[in-house]
Every structure is written in C-alpha cells, then in structure tokens.
A and B are shown apart, each in its own frame.
Chain A
C-alpha cells in the first residue's frame, strides 16, 4: 500500500477547525488509522514542522504548556497548500491509492468538491492507461505483458474511483457522524 501523506491529512483535519494535538491524533486514527494509528510523537513532530512552514500556527497563550495543551489553527498559506494537495492528481501506480482515500475524506470533511478530485484522478488514470496502451503497440510480448500488468492494476484503482464516485453522498454522511 502506498504510504499515506499524514502531514497533509493532519493539515486537512485542521482545515475543519482548530484543535489540540491529542484530538487531531484521535480524528486521524478514526478516519485513516485503523491499521496503522499515528504515534503521539509523530503527530507533534509533524505539527511542529507545519508550524515551521507557516501552514499552521499556535493559538493564544497556551504555547508554554505541555504538548497536549497546545491548540493549533490552519493559516491562509495552509489552506492554499491544502487545496493544492486535494486537487493535484496522484501519480497512478500499481498499488492502492491511500492518499486518494485521504483526500476524498478530507474534501468531504471540508465540504469541498470531492467529486471533482475523483474526476481529476480518473482523467490521470486514463491518461496513464492510454500511454501504456500505446507503448504496447508493436512492442515485443514481454513488454506487452509488463504493460498489461500495470494496466490491470490501474484499472482496479479506476474501479475503486468509480465506486467511490457513486457513493460520495453516503460516504459524506458517514464521515460527518
């Protein structure tokens, strides 16, 4: 499975409203971490990096408290980065696009256009399939079969995109609970 971009996912969760590190970790685990929950240390290291890059900031006077007393808020630069991430199609690879799953959930949580990001991803996948199909034409059988392997995997992703597109309303209601 492709590694999920936990930094952008946390930024996305902060996009829904300010929060403490402790709550962010639990929100993250609820949406994405069923198999691989985030360690607290990783959450705070990531948040510190996001602060350093000006994408989030510490709120109020609680800055002096312990790590779980710190409250974070997304900045304008952070929102820009988030939109950029959401609507930049993932590179189609022969593995499950868990980043795409994260983007879909974050877009639904933000009330952003999840259907659009799936459309963009579909276009990216079909473009890659066209390239592979062209590469097959006139190639030797080994090359054809290597391309076919990639084509079948990308097609599987695409079927997930179709299914998810058809169930966005339902998914939106579930993540909002």
Chain B
C-alpha cells in the first residue's frame, strides 16, 4: 500500500463548517453529532426498527453491523435523513431531522453529508474527475474550481492517472476510491457508507477502508458505516449490532 501521507492542513481547510439550527454549539465535542431516540420504522407489514437509541460522537467512526434484514440499513438511512421514523426522533446536532420536510432534508444531506454505497454509484457516462466534481457543481461552484478540487482529491488518493477514465475502465477498488473522493470533495461533516467493501476482494477492501478511515480521522469527519463484514468493521472505533430491529451488542 503505497500512498502519500494526507496533507492535514488541506483536509482541515474548512474547520468552522456552518452549523445547523439555532444552537451554535450543536456539533461541539460535548454533544453527539448524530442521534436517534426511540426510533420505530415499518415498511408495510414489516417492522425494520423497534425502539432504537443511538448517539454518534463528532469524529467517531461507527460500524453498524447485523445480519441481512436486521434493520441496519434503515437505521443508516434515518441517521442520514434519507428516511424519517414512524415514531421517535432523529437529530443532526441541534436539528431534529425527523421534523424536516423532504426538501429541507435533501438540502441538509447535500451540504453536510457524503455518501458511499456498495457499487453502481458513479455515473457511467462521466469520467472519474467529472464524477468527483459533480457534488461541487451541484453546490454552485464554477466548473474550473470544481475540476481543480476534484483533481486534487484524485491525486491525494493515488488516482491521478485514472482521472479521465470512465467507471467501466476502473477496477472495483479504484471505483470505490473515486467514490470516496466524491464523498469527501464537499468537506462533509459526516460520511455515510453502506457496505462500502461489499463488492470487493480482500485486498481492495483493505485499501478502501484504510483510505476512508485515514482521511476521515485526519479531517475529523464522522463516519457511519453499515457492514456485515467484521474485518471492515474492525477499522471503526466502535460497533453496534442490530438484530430484529433492536441494538443488541455494543462494545466500549
């Protein structure tokens, strides 16, 4: 694994990220950056979550584990404001995200969160550098600035030579690292990753997790990671286990 060390100063280029809500201390160290309280959620007749309480501290890397169908992805989606709970509440800093409408949650996700999925997340007709610049363009950056920043991130992740390639010309591990660059390019407060190594071989999975955790730790970004893979979870600071819609084991 030959990667250059991450220039810390650059990663910390926006330490005073705009706070959400009225309380200016919303995301200071003393309180969780994300929380859910007594959250219940069903899909038709299927109950996915039945009373979950969870807090995530700023800068923490948390793994959500559990068997298929246990509700772990639903929990991630509620923490990320993609879904809202049927009852209970979801919080980002002092913002009660479960009280926000769809448009406000979409805006929050765009400005504060980054997302990484298992596969198929890069737009197939865009090159790596265009995929990475996309979130900046959506956020209103000029094309020139967006492409420059995207190139910087690809370089930092050892992908400079692949910048012009289409996703179909990248290996699974390379594509996943481009996805990490795309998630980080807007300097999000929180990264949500749903089975980020699920489609990768062992060595690529290691490189992806090492990249993700090194960059997040260097920039103080919080990471919430859903995985059923223990070796992937071992990169986190802590794990919680969802079983039958409840948290069962929580370590240290």
Contacts and interface: CB of A to CB of B under 8 A. Distances in A.
Looking at chain B's contact residues, the main secondary structure is mixed
B210 A122 contact: no
A155 interface: yes
B67 A129 contact: no
A112 interface: no
B234 A119 contact: no
Nearest to B248: A119
Contact of A129 (B210, B234, B252): B234
B252 A119 contact: no
Chain B, interface size category, equals 10 to 19
A122 B239 CA distance: 10
A60 to B, nearest CB: 44
Given A119-B241, A162-B67, A127 B252 contact: yes
B231 A122 contact: no
A42 to B, nearest CB: 35
B241 A122 contact: yes
Nearest to A127: B251
A122 B249 contact: yes
Q: Which 5 A-B pairs have the closest CB atoms?
A: A123-B251, A119-B249, A129-B234, A133-B234, A130-B234
A137 B252 contact: no
B250 interface: yes
Interface of B: 67, 210, 230-231, 233-237, 239, 241, 243, 248-252
Contacts of B237: 130
A129 B230 contact: yes
B231 A155 contact: yes
26 contacts: A119-B248, A120-B249, A123-B239, A123-B249, A123-B250, A123-B251, A123-B252, A124-B251, A125-B230, A126-B233, A126-B239, A126-B251, A127-B251, A127-B252, A129-B231, A129-B233, A130-B236, A130-B237, A133-B234, A133-B235, A137-B210, A151-B231, A155-B231, A158-B230, A162-B67, A166-B67
Given A130-B237, A155-B231, 4 more contacts: A126-B251, A130-B235, A132-B234, A137-B210
Interface string A111-124: 00001000110111
Interface in A79-126: 115, 119-120, 122-126
Interface in A30-51: none
Looking at chain A's contact residues, the main secondary structure is helix
Interface of A: 115, 119-120, 122-127, 129-130, 132-133, 137, 151, 154-155, 158, 162, 165-166
Nearest to A115: B248
B4 to A, nearest CB: 14
Contacts of A162: 67
Nearest to B233: A126
A151 B234 contact: yes
A138 to B, nearest CB: 10
Contacts of B243: 165
Contacts of A124: 251
Contacts of B249: 119-120, 122-123
Contacts of B235: 130, 133
A137 B158 CA distance: 18
Most buried by B among A127, A132, A166: A127
Contacts of B248: 115, 119
A139 B76 CA distance: 33
A166 B252 CA distance: 23
Most buried by B among A125, A126, A158: A126
Contacts of A154: 230
